[in-house]
Amino acid sequence: MDLKGKVALVTGGSLGIGTSISLDLAQNGADVALTYRKHEKEAKAIVDKIKAMGHRAQEYKVDVSDFGAAQELVKDVRDRFGQSNYTAAKAGTIGLTKTVAKELGRSKVNVNAVAPGLIETDMIKNMPDDFKQSSLSETVFNSLGKPEDVAYLVSFLCSEKARHITGEVIKVDGGQYI
């Protein structure tokens, strides 16, 4: 099963069946948010295991029988993970890049896309610290990229030195998604 790009919210994910569900979803590619009420240590251990698999994960102490708390939980998970519009836009960009590269290749036009990861920008500065730290720990370098890291690649792709590169999506993410 390929659950890459999907986000799962598992209530009671810190023990028993919930733990198995959380881990299996992650093993199949999903990012996982899980809830607990009393077992914080166990919840954090499951989150650590999921992160070690290379996926995003977060534990939430919440009583899901409380409607207001459940609404807040879903909102936070959506804000932290549930960026479906962004994901759809990225997928569209990748498809467009490959299609246009095929169409314009006969005219010797190169078409590539650049996919930046965590880059030191105002957007990253406004990101919640816990999410930023979690994302940083996923990178090989454990650091943010700089805007010029992306700019150097774009300049290279626009140069004659990249004349035989087309239809590619090149990540500048410090190894976050290796």
| pLDDT digits 0-9 by tens, 127-168 | 778 778 888 888 899 888 999 999 999 999 988 899 999 999
Look at the chain and report how many structural domains it folds into. 2
pLDDT digits (tens, 9 = 90+) for 88-117: 667 778 888 899 899 899 999 999 999 888
Active-site residues, by number, are 86
Please indicate, yes or no, whether residues 165 and 109 belong to a single structural domain of this protein: yes
Residue spans of beta strands (DSSP E) within the chain: 7-10, 31-36, 57-61, 113-116, 169-172
Cβ atoms of residues 58 and 74 within 8 Å: no
Residue-level pLDDT at 71: 82
Together in a domain, 167 and 107: yes
Model pLDDT for residues 16-74, shown as the tens digit of each residue: 888 999 999 999 888 999 999 999 999 999 999 999 998 899 999 998 888 888 888 88
Q: Is residue 125 over pLDDT 70?
A: yes
Question: Both 67 and 120 in a single domain?
Answer: no
Residue that terminates a domain, selected from 63, 80, 97:
80
- The boundaries of the domain holding residue 64 are 7-80
1 found inside a domain: no
Tell which residue, 94, 118, 91, has the closest CA to residue 176: 118
Question: Tell me, what CATH number does 74's domain have?
Answer: 3.40.50.720
